[in-house]
Amino acid sequence: WDIVKEDIESTYREGTLYPGKYTLRLEEAMRSHFGTKYAIAVNNCSNALILLLCDLPTRSKVIMPSYTFRATSQAAEWNNLTIVLTDVDENGYLDPEVLDDCLTKHPDSKCVIPVVMWGNCTYVEQIGTICRKHGVRLIYDAAHGMSSEYDGKPIGNIGSAVAFSIAVTKPLACGEGGIVTTNNDHLAKLVEMGRLHGNVLGNLDCVQKGLNAKIGEFNSILAIHGLKILNESRDKREELSKFYIDNLKDLPIRF
């Protein structure tokens, strides 16, 4: 409370609950953290995924792994898209060989959504190469991946765009919220305007599909301060996971 109270009291005094200066600060901090052109804050990762697919033609095929949380497929359902499930490897991650075969069998596919399950980012080069070969959009469902790194860098730069969760159970917990990172102007506009019902703030003329996906200032404040200790928290989780693995290694289970 001592860390966040000044900013929260400021928000109360100013009476701006959303969107406001703290959301802008959060987006600036996320752009710096990930090294991306855009970082857009929304009210949750589920709506982030919905908006990243909202321009695809009705019934377009979207490929995703068969092992994932419900929100991945709901993003396609809410946009009236056709879901194509692929098999996964023995650890539950999207299998590149299966993906290549699937895209060959479904050449009219528009998008692939790998999942950063449990924060593990797998087969990045292989999946990227396959998606470029077939000319499809590559959207990462990284709900678990806010503190994840690949090749020594935060994963905001992989694929066409990445959707992160900053909900209460995630590595960066701000109650409820999501972050979209991308270097793609078109996808950034989809999310930035889509979170405001499809219009520019202060102008009620809607120019695209959208929904109410604005993040609150209180959530942004918690995320700004939480970002400062994100890697420290991640390293502590890793330390704990190694403790469990070391002490359970003699049991008939696989990690």
Question: Residue 255 has what pLDDT?
Answer: 83
Cβ neighbours of 36 (radius 10 Å): 21
How does pLDDT run across 87-141, given as a tens digit for each residue? 999 999 999 999 999 999 999 999 999 999 999 999 999 999 999 999 999 999 9
Q: Which of 116, 187, 112, 183 is nearest to 149 (CA)?
A: 116
Indicate the Cα dihedral angle 139, 44, 65, 154, nearest 10°.
60
Q: How confident is the model at residue 18 (pLDDT cuts 50, 70, 90)?
A: confident
CA distance 231 to 215: 23
Q: Which residues pair with 85 in a beta bridge?
A: 64
Instruction: Answer for the pair 51, 190: CB distance below 8 angstroms, yes or no.
Output: yes
How does pLDDT run across 208-237, given as a tens digit for each residue? 999 999 999 999 999 999 999 999 999 999
Q: Which of 78, 36, 74, 41 is nearest to 192 (CA)?
A: 41
Instruction: Answer for the pair 68, 141: CB distance below 8 angstroms, yes or no.
Output: yes
CA distance 173 to 220: 10
How does pLDDT run across 141-194, given as a tens digit for each residue? 999 999 999 999 999 999 999 999 999 999 999 999 999 999 999 999 999 999
